[in-house]
């Protein structure tokens, strides 16, 4: 009986802590395969309001779901995850780069600012610049951030060109994301279905 009472007291004490604990889901990643990803990309500046995921064709004819960003001013930027990040902070020592799959119609100088513990304001000291080249097809980029500490938020400035379109296939802090597939001929597709029976 004493064991049962001890167990009941321990459970009553620990259960509320378990219920309110935040689950660590690792560093953020967006693939734009789900419209729910858009809610994380609403805090923007000099960008057409983000309202939908676009379906586009890549250079191989494969279909991709992307976030289309259209700049309207000379300082377009976005806070992935919101200006108050809705993702768990992550170690800048363990996750040292931002991986992007993008198609860009105009080359530009991008800047990524970040905040970490205990620095809660964005400033030039926690900022990296990258020359991003235009491309007719999607390219995978690795932005080596060389950031440190516990990363609590970041924002991406997409250069200073007005009226340009940027298509983002994915953004990940975990590594490159394989999102495209070769178009398959109908006969091949039927052949695979037929093999299942």
What are the residue ranges spanned by the domains of the chain? 22-175
How many other CB atoms sit within 10 Å of the CB of residue 75?
14
Fold of 22-175: Jelly Rolls (2.60.120)
Examine the pLDDT at 121 and tell me if it is beyond 50: yes
pLDDT for the residue numbered 35: 87
pLDDT for the residue numbered 179: 65
State how far Cα 132 lies from the chain centre. Answer: 17
pLDDT for the residue numbered 117: 87
Condensed to tens digits (0 to 9), the pLDDT of residues 148-167 reads 899 999 999 999 988 899 99
Quick one: average pLDDT of 140-146? Answer: 95
pLDDT range class, residue 9, cuts 50, 70, 90: low
pLDDT range class, residue 1, cuts 50, 70, 90: low
62 CB burial (10 A radius; 0-12, 13-18, 19+): middle
Helix (H, G, I), strand (E, B) or coil at 114: strand
Q: How far apart are CA 141 and CA 92, in angstroms?
A: 18
pLDDT for the residue numbered 25: 62
pLDDT for the residue numbered 3: 59
The CA–CA distances, whole Å, from 2 to 5, 6, 9, 11, 14 equal: 5, 6, 11, 14, 18
Q: In terms of Cα–Cα distance, which of 74, 65, 83 is closest to 47?
A: 74
pTM: 0.76
pLDDT for the residue numbered 191: 38
Q: How far apart are CA 64 and CA 140, in angstroms?
A: 14
pLDDT for the residue numbered 2: 61
């Amino acid at each position: 009986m004493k064991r049962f009472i001890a167990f009941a007291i321990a459970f009553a004490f620990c259960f509320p802590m378990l219920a309110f604990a935040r689950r660590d889901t690792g560093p953020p990643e967006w693939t734009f395969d789900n419209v729910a990803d858009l809610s994380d990309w609403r805090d923007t500046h000099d960008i057409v309001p983000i309202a939908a995921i676009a379906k586009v064709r890549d250079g191989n004819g494969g279909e991709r779901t992307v976030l289309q960003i259209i700049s309207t001013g000379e300082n377009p930027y976005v806070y992935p995850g919101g200006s108050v990040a809705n993702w768990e902070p992550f170690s800048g020592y363990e996750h040292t780069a931002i991986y992007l799959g993008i198609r860009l119609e105009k080359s530009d100088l991008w800047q990524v600012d970040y905040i970490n513990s205990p620095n809660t304001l964005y400033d030039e000291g926690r900022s990296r610049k990258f020359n991003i080249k235009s491309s007719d097809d999607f390219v995978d980029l690795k932005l080596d951030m060389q950031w440190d500490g516990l990363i609590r938020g970041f924002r991406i400035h997409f250069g200073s060109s007005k009226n340009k379109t940027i298509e983002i296939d994915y953004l990940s802090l975990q590594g490159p994301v394989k999102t495209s597939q070769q178009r398959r001929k109908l006969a091949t597709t039927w052949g695979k279905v037929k093999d299942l029976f």
